[in-house]
Structures are given as structure tokens and as C-alpha cells.
């Protein structure tokens, strides 16, 4: 079976968390919206009234007959199927808890450039973005990164992974969030990074994993850009 | 075993989703922060460096030795343990997907009154709140409620529940979100409600369930208030 990932074809966005897990498992998948007519098929599926489990928004994953939406839910599914989460009930829920905390951070990072409405341009909410970003880089970004540093330091199996002694989807997602923050807020993230050596070491190890390294070097990995969740506006960084 | 719920003792907030599920199951629990010295114990636990699975923020649930954070993760746990979600893999993930979409709506509802920073007062971001709330009630609130209406209409077991033919934690959470929206934005929610009869009927049925009705009539149910996620500022409604 080949998975079908449905997500906007021009950005990493939330789809990137799914792409990274799929790439790491080596599972065959097609990134539908990057194929001919794929984005139209994605939009048609979103409006398909015959679906019994309709997704609210991309990303969603087709796995055979099933359609699964919500990034964290897709990862819960892939994690169980492909060994990207512990089998134990406690380990599985802990991995998911970390993913949900990363998801909270992603929303906050997005809202730095769109604090008023996603439907408006950045240029129409620039003043508000400056206020929101100032709070984000002063308070929220360091708080979140210090939290993940604490999780690594508290792991009884050592600081090489967030959960236990093996890679989970939460490790892959932390890598992606830190990469996005480095792109969007190089100065603020650089400062916070100095206090989070275990986080930075984990991210470097994830980037060096053979399948992840191959993916990042490929055309399948879209570059960060100014339509994405993580955006670099120099005036928002400090 | 008695569960210990850790959440702010003066608001419904995100803890309310956990409270509703606990109340519906009839599982014994203590709402720690509402007991003498409880809030201090909650804060101490958040800073406890001996925890191997530290939560990022309240709510979190102690179940024996385990500490589980993130509202949706707690519900995943309780849903499996107490029959508030289907046993099948597909049904379990679908229920969770709906919960995550409700969680997205909760963030957006919160940010209508705090679009710039949670650390600032509403009065310091009133102008921005007006802009964000206008977009929320014009676009986002109706879109989310119509989505849940569609989910109910698409349920092969009928529109009485979001998932299958039995109550799940997603039903309880939808009830809570709609109650919050009715409090915060009575006019806008009233308008959207007219297009969502199945959602409204489900919420009425949840409110009438014996354990939920008893809970809502009790002192355990805190009233909505202006320190909470859902707040009523007449100037933000329309």
C-alpha cells in the first residue's frame, strides 16, 4: 500500500511533520498536491460529502480506505504502525503529549506574523505582528525550548532522545520546529539555543540520519519560504 | 485509585474538558487546585525536576504514578480506559482527530481577546482584539461549527453522536466548546447555531445526561468568567 499525503504543495507547513515521519520510515508515499492536478484533488476531497470521516483542513493522509486528519493524529497512527513510538501505553501517550506541546509552539510561531487573521496579508497586520513577536521571542520561544531541554535531561535513558532510547516522531518534530525557528528568528533562537545543548545535539543527530539527510538534500524537501508557517521578517527578530 | 486533576481552580479553561469526561465516567477524582494548598502543590509539581515526564502546563492528570499532560492526551487516556472512545483503531483515532480540531477552535476563541500576548491584560490589546474577533465571528466560528454539523450529518450511525452510536469524549468536548462560544459570543453563535441543528441537539442531549446535568448543577462546575478562555466582551460580539 502506498500512502497518499494531502498537503499544500508549496510549503513545508504542518505537512512537513508527516513528511519527515514518512521519510524516516521509508514507507512509500505520494505527496499528492505536488503531482499534476493534485491540489485540485485535495480540495475536492476536502469538500467530498461522501466521506464519513472528513478532515477539517490539510494535512490529511489516505491509508487505503482511511482518511486521517490533524497532524498529531496522523503521527499517532504512523508512530504505532511503523515503530516511531514506544509500544507501551505510557510511552505512546508521552510521545504524543510532546507532539501536542510542539503543535502549540507551532501555532504561536505562526501567529507572530498573523496575530489578527490568517485571511489577511502580513503587511496588513505588521504593527500587531511586531508586538506579538516581541512577546514570543522574549517569553514563549525560550520557555518552550527550555522545556524540551528539561525533558531530554530528565529522560532516564539519557538525553539522546525525547522518549526512551530510540527515535520517535517527537524527535523528528522537534528537529523541524527548531529548524523553522532558526529560519524565522535566527537571533532569538541562537540565544535560546545556548541554554539548550541537548536540544541542539538531538536536532543535529536527526539531520544526520541517513534517510533524513537524503530527504533534506532532495527536491522533495521544499525550502523554507515567506508563505509558510515559519517566516523570516528581520523586523520581528531581535 | 483516585485520579488527581491539576488545573487552575478559578476557571473552567482547558481543565473543563477533563472534568466533563471524569464526571461522565463517574471515576473518583480530586480537583487538586480547589483544595487547601492545592494550587501551590500544582505549581510545585510543574517545577519538580524529579519527574521523568514533566507536563509543560496545566491541565495534567495524576493516575497512580503516571503524570499525563495536554488536554487531548489526557482524554485519549481516559477515553481508552473508561469507554469514552471506540475500541477500534479507526474509531479511536477519529475521535481524537475531532478533539484536536476542537482544540484548534479553543485556541482561536482564546486569541480573540488575547491576540498579542497572554501575559498582557485584555485592556492592553483591546484594539487588536476587536480586529481578531471580527475575523473569528465572521469566518472561523461559522466554519468550525458547520464542520461539526457536517460530521454529524455524515455519521453512518446517525447524527446523535460525532462518532458511531455511542457517547465519546469528543461529544462532551463539543458541548463545552459550544457552551463557551454561547457565553462569549451570544449573537454570533446564535446566528451560526441556526445552520447547525444537529450540533445544537447534541449539545442539549449532553447537558441532559444524568451525570453531566448533576455536575453542571453542582458547585464543582465553575461559572464562566472573565478570566477564562471564553470571555464575554460585548464589544467583540456582533
pLDDT digit string, tens, across residues B113-150: 999 999 999 999 999 999 999 999 999 999 999 999 99
Distance from CA of B223 to the nearest CA of A (A): 26
Identify the sign of the CA torsion B92, B95, B101, B107: negative
Domain with CATH 1.20.1050.10 in chain B: 89-209
* A101 contacts in chain B (CB < 8 Å): 56, 69-70
The alpha helices in chain B, defined as continuous H runs, are: 15-25, 38-46, 71-82, 89-113, 126-135, 141-154, 169-184, 186-194, 197-208, 210-217
CA distance A194 to A86: 30
* Residue of chain A whose Cα is closest to the Cα of B56: A147
β-pair type (A66-69, A29-31)? unpaired
**The pLDDT value given to residue B117:** 93
Domain with CATH 3.40.30.10 in chain A: 3-82
CA distance A230 to A214: 22
C-alpha angle A197/A199/A202, rounded to 5°? Answer: 105
Name the fold adopted by A3-82. Answer: Glutaredoxin (3.40.30)
The alpha helices in A26-120, defined as continuous H runs, are: 38-46, 71-82, 89-113
Q: What residue ranges of chain B have pLDDT lower than 50?
A: none
Q: How far is CA B62 from CA A31, B32, B51, B58, B65, in A?
A: 40, 10, 12, 12, 7
Residue ranges of B 28-67 with Cβ closer than 8 A to chain A = 49, 51-56, 66
**The pLDDT value given to residue B1:** 86
**The pLDDT value given to residue A1:** 86
Closest Cβ–Cβ partner in B72, B111, B128 for A100: B72
Place of cell 512577546: A135
The alpha helices in B26-59, defined as continuous H runs, are: 38-46
**The pLDDT value given to residue B46:** 96
CA atoms within 13 A on the CB side of B112: 30
In a mutational test of the B interface, the residue from A80, A100, A133, A158 whose CB has the highest number of chain B CBs within 10 Å is: A100
ipTM above 0.95, yes or no: yes
Radius of gyration for the alpha carbons in chain B, expressed in angstroms and rounded = 18
Contact of A159 with chain B, judged by CB distance below 8 Å, is answered with no
Q: Which CATH architecture has domain B89-209?
A: Up-down Bundle (1.20)
CA distance A80 to A92: 8
CA distance B232 to A48: 36
3-state DSSP call for residue A117?
Answer: coil
pLDDT at A42 over 90: yes
Contact of B68 with chain A, judged by CB distance below 8 Å, is answered with yes
**The pLDDT value given to residue B148:** 98
* B156 contacts in chain A (CB < 8 Å): 52
**The pLDDT value given to residue B138:** 97
Distance from CA of A224 to the nearest CA of B (A): 24
Amino acid at each position: 500500500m502506498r500512502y497518499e499525503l494531502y498537503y499544500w504543495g508549496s510549503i513545508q507547513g504542518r505537512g512537513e511533520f508527516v513528511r519527515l515521519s514518512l521519510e524516516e520510515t521509508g514507507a512509500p508515499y505520494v505527496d499528492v498536491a505536488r503531482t499534476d492536478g493534485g491540489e485540485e484533488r485535495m480540495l475536492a476531497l476536502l469538500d467530498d460529502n461522501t466521506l464519513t470521516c472528513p478532515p477539517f483542513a490539510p494535512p490529511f493522509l489516505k491509508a487505503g480506505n482511511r482518511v486521517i486528519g490533524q497532524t498529531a493524529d496522523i503521527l499517532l497512527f504512523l508512530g504505532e504502525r511503523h515503530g516511531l513510538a514506544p509500544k507501551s501505553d505510557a510511552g505512546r501517550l508521552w510521545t504524543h503529549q510532546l507532539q501536542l506541546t510542539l503543535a502549540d509552539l507551532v501555532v504561536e510561531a505562526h501567529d507572530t506574523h498573523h496575530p489578527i487573521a490568517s485571511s489577511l496579508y502580513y503587511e496588513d497586520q505588521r504593527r500587531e505582528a511586531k508586538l506579538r513577536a516581541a512577546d514570543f521571542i522574549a517569553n514563549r520561544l525560550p520557555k518552550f525550548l527550555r522545556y524540551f531541554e528539561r525533558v531530554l535531561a530528565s529522560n532516564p535513558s539519557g538525553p539522546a532522545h525525547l522518549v526512551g532510547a530510540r527515535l520517535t516522531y517527537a524527535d523528528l518534530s522537534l528537529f523541524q520546529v527548531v529548524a523553522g525557528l532558526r529560519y524565522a528568528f535566527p537571533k532569538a533562537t541562537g540565544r535560546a539555543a545556548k541554554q539548550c545543548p541537548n536540544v541542539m545535539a538531538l536536532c543535529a543527530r536527526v539531520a544526520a540520519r541517513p534517510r533524513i539527510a537524503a530527504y533534506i538534500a532532495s527536491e522533495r524537501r521544499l525550502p523554507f519560504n515567506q508563505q509558510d508557517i515559519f517566516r523570516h521578517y528581520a523586523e520581528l527578530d531581535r
